[in-house]
């Protein structure tokens, strides 16, 4: 089963790559836009830390300029993955429901959730992914001190968990389009919420921090992976992140199946 879906995904990637060759100008514009956006984010950090030496959270945790560079690099990695693999697909779901083209997806012998989640790939996000990795590396070098292979592996695993958590939350939001058909791009409502993860959760007041770490676990997208990489979080967060990601993926699938039972084709 997994091999079958892997081959199907490779076919999707090949088709998107062929399309990229026909629209290279769009690809270069995406790279330029990502570079400018990431550069402005780093410039904002340098302006802030030119005035203050460090950020201190409500619990006393300190975030230096180098720590924030690593955090922003991690956010760039996460954001690029989402905009390369998730947004191009989930951004189309509302239109598919409204115009009835979702019917064609439902008739194919493959998981409907997989098809609406993995059909398109934007390769422009790949460049920003590499740029985010470079930023994390630069931040670690500026900070000094080594990172073990174990620490790096745990960091990568937690970033992957963060990606799955973000995907599940985004998928839950776009599934609401089954009830709010006329609301275009409903998934973009989640995008500004996602940007909260650009900053450490510790800087938010107590109630907001509780919401962002439990109700809507944005803290596990970037803050927890960076804290683990810097040796500030216990290894038990791996189990917590895994549990949250698994629970949200299950919930998103259950909500999707519930929505499909209430779906009435717009083409019929």
Residue 188 reports pLDDT greater than 70: no
226-246: pLDDT as tens digits? 999 988 888 889 999 999 999
- DSSP letters, 51-71, are T-S-EE-TT--EE-HHHHHHH
* Residue 267 forms part of a structural domain: no
Q: What is the pLDDT of residues 124-181, one digit of tens each?
A: 777 788 888 999 998 998 888 778 888 899 999 999 999 999 999 999 988 988 887 6
Burial group, residue 251, by CB count within 10 angstroms (0-12, 13-18, 19+): middle
Q: Tell me how many domains the chain contains.
A: 1
In a domain, 266, yes or no: no
Q: Is residue 233 part of a domain?
A: yes
Is the pLDDT at 250 greater than 90? The verdict is yes
Please, what sign has the CA dihedral across residues 208, 209, 215, 218?
Answer: positive
pLDDT score at 143: 84
**What is the average per-residue pLDDT within 2-7?**
85
Q: What is the mean pLDDT of residues 62-91?
A: 90
Tell me if 268 is assigned to some domain: no
Q: Looking at residues 204-213, what average pLDDT do you find?
A: 82
The answer to whether residue 239 is domain-embedded is yes
Q: Given a cut of 70, is residue 268 above it in pLDDT?
A: no
pLDDT at 241: 95
Q: How many residues are given for the chain? A: 268
pLDDT at residue number 209: 81
The boundaries of the domain holding residue 111 are: 2-261
pTM of the model: 0.89
Q: Is the pLDDT of residue 71 over 90?
A: yes
**What stretches of the chain show up as alpha helix (H) in DSSP?**
2-22, 24-49, 65-81, 87-90, 93-99, 102-107, 112-118, 124-143, 149-175, 190-194, 206-210, 223-229, 237-261
Q: Which residues have a Cβ under 8 Å from the Cβ of 82 and sit 6 or more positions away?
A: 125, 163, 166, 167, 170, 194
Percent with pLDDT over 90 in the chain: 29
pLDDT digits (tens, 9 = 90+) for 18-47: 877 777 777 777 777 777 877 787 788 778
Confidence of residue 51 (pLDDT cuts 50, 70, 90): confident
Task: Let me know if residue 9 belongs to a domain.
Answer: yes
């Amino acid at each position: 089963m997994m091999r079958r879906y892997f081959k199907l995904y490779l076919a999707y990637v090949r088709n998107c790559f062929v399309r990229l060759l026909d629209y290279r100008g769009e690809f270069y514009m995406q790279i330029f836009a990502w570079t400018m956006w990431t550069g402005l984010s780093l410039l904002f950090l340098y302006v802030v830390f030119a005035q203050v030496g460090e950020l201190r959270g409500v619990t006393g945790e300190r975030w230096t300029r180098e720590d924030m560079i690593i955090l922003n690099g991690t956010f760039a990695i996460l954001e690029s993955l989402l905009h390369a693999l998730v947004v191009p697909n989930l951004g189309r779901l509302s239109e598919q429901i409204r115009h009835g083209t979702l019917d064609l997806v439902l008739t194919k012998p493959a998981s409907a959730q997989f098809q609406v989640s993995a059909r398109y790939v934007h390769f422009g996000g790949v460049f920003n992914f590499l740029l985010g990795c470079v930023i994390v590396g630069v931040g670690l070098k500026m900070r000094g001190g080594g990172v073990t292979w174990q620490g790096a592996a745990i960091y990568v695993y937690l970033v992957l968990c963060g990606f799955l958590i973000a995907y599940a939350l985004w998928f839950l939001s776009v599934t609401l389009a089954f009830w709010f058909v006329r609301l275009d791009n409903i998934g973009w409502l989640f995008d500004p919420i996602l940007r909260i993860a650009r900053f450490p959760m510790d800087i938010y007041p107590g109630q907001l921090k509780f919401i962002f770490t439990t109700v809507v676990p944005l803290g596990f997208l970037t803050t927890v992976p960076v804290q683990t990489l810097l040796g500030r979080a216990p290894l038990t967060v791996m189990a917590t992140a895994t549990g949250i990601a698994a629970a949200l993926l299950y919930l998103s699938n259950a909500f999707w199946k519930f929505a499909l039972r209430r779906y009435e084709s717009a083409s019929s």
